Amino acid sequence: AQGGRHESGRETFGHSLAVSPWGEVIAEAGTEPGILLAEIDVAQVADARRRIPSLKNKRPFTLKGPLT
């Protein structure tokens, strides 16, 4: 994630997280520049996708008009 003040004047604060499918924080970055590394248990992800099949409920959409 970006952090700090940008040329446009907006501010972002970093603090990226890697979170398990059940809401457990696996890895957490601070506000300083850095790299966040986390191990992802693909079996746990597959289990979560089986138990909570939210992608089956997706609805396609089209963006219309200018994106600003």
Does 17 reside within a domain? yes
- pLDDT the model gives residue 3: 67
- pLDDT the model gives residue 57: 85
Domain count, the chain: 1
Confidence band, pLDDT 50/70/90 cuts, at residue 39: very high
Averaged over 27-41, what is the pLDDT?
88
Does 23 reside within a domain? yes
User: Whole-prediction pTM value?
Assistant: 0.59
In percent, the amount of the chain with pLDDT more than 70 equals 94
Confidence band, pLDDT 50/70/90 cuts, at residue 60: confident
Burial call 6-41: b when 16+ CB within 10 Å, e when fewer: eeeeeeeeeeeeeeeeeeeeeeebeeeeeeeeeeee
Question: What's the domain range around 10?
Answer: 3-55
